[in-house]
Amino acid sequence: MDRPKLNYVVDILMGISFLISAVTGLIMFFFLPSGVKQGRYQIFLGITKDAFGNVHSYAGIAMALFVLLHFILHWNWIVCMTKNILFKKTKTCKI
């Protein structure tokens, strides 16, 4: 796979994992309060709070891995831009 396609796939997967983590986090925060509800499972849309928590955790781990891969793929650009900003150079940086 060429570099632009790899960057695209990594960015799409990073965005999807972020959305999953954000949505499950908001659901748990607003609709599934902490604590035990009279000894019952807390359920929203037919899914237990534990299941939402597991999906949230795995999506967060996936997002962290995709962010790390994103930084690795763009490391040369990050170094070039940092040098340009810190030392006021005008070198063109390529991704």
CB atoms within 10 A of CB 57: 12
The full set of domain ranges for the chain reads: 3-87
Q: What is the pLDDT of residue 49?
A: 85
What sections of 2-48 are H helices per DSSP?
Answer: 3-31
Q: What is the pLDDT of residue 93?
A: 80
Q: What is the pLDDT of residue 38?
A: 59
Contact 10, 68 (CB under 8 A): no
pTM of the entire predicted model: 0.83
How far is residue 68 from each of residues 22, 48, 50, measured CA to CA in Å? 19, 31, 27
Q: What is the pLDDT of residue 39?
A: 55
Report residues of the chain scoring pLDDT below 70: 36-39
